[in-house]
């Protein structure tokens, strides 16, 4: 859940930042918190995953197909392990959320 709304996420180990879809923020009237050079940012966003509520700062852009993209910096902060064989994401240290 983002802003109490269900979302479709991509866990992307190839990007360092996190992103949220421009259309998702508009559809759910999510307030944006600032400007990053030529784009917008949603800061201190609570992301509800598996009954945990870690926070994330996300750049707002057209993500084309995903509501949220969670990048390597965020994934490593919450000890996420992407298991490609099982098609799962496991958070190894739930106490850190």
pLDDT in tens, the chain (97 residues): 787 888 888 788 888 888 888 888 888 888 887 765 546 888 898 888 877 888 888 888 877 788 888 888 888 888 888 888 998 888 876 554 4
Residue 55 lies in a domain: yes
Evaluate whether residue 1 is within a structural domain.
no
Tally of domains within the chain: 1
- Whole-model pTM: value is 0.67
Alpha-carbon span 6 to 39, nearest angstrom: 24
CB atoms within 10 A of CB 20: 30
Whether residue 59 is contained in a domain is answered as yes
4 occurs within a structural domain: no
Query: DSSP secondary structure string, 5-52?
Result: B---EEEETT-SS-EEEHHHHHHTTPPP-EEETTEEEEEEEEB-BTTB
Examine residue 32 and state whether it is found in any structural domain, yes or no: yes
Domain that holds residue 49: 9-96
CATH of residue 39: 2.40.70.10
Q: How far apart are CA 48 and CA 14, in angstroms?
A: 22
């Amino acid at each position: 859940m983002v802003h109490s709304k269900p979302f479709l996420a991509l866990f992307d180990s190839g990007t360092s930042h996190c992103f949220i879809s421009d259309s998702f923020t508009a559809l759910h009237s999510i307030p944006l918190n600032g400007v990053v050079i030529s784009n917008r940012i949603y800061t201190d966003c609570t992301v509800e995953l598996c009954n945990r509520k870690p926070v994330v700062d996300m750049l707002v852009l057209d993500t084309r197909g995903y509501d949220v993209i969670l990048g390597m910096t965020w994934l490593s902060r919450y000890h996420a392990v992407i298991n490609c064989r099982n098609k799962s994401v496991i958070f190894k240290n739930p106490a850190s959320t």
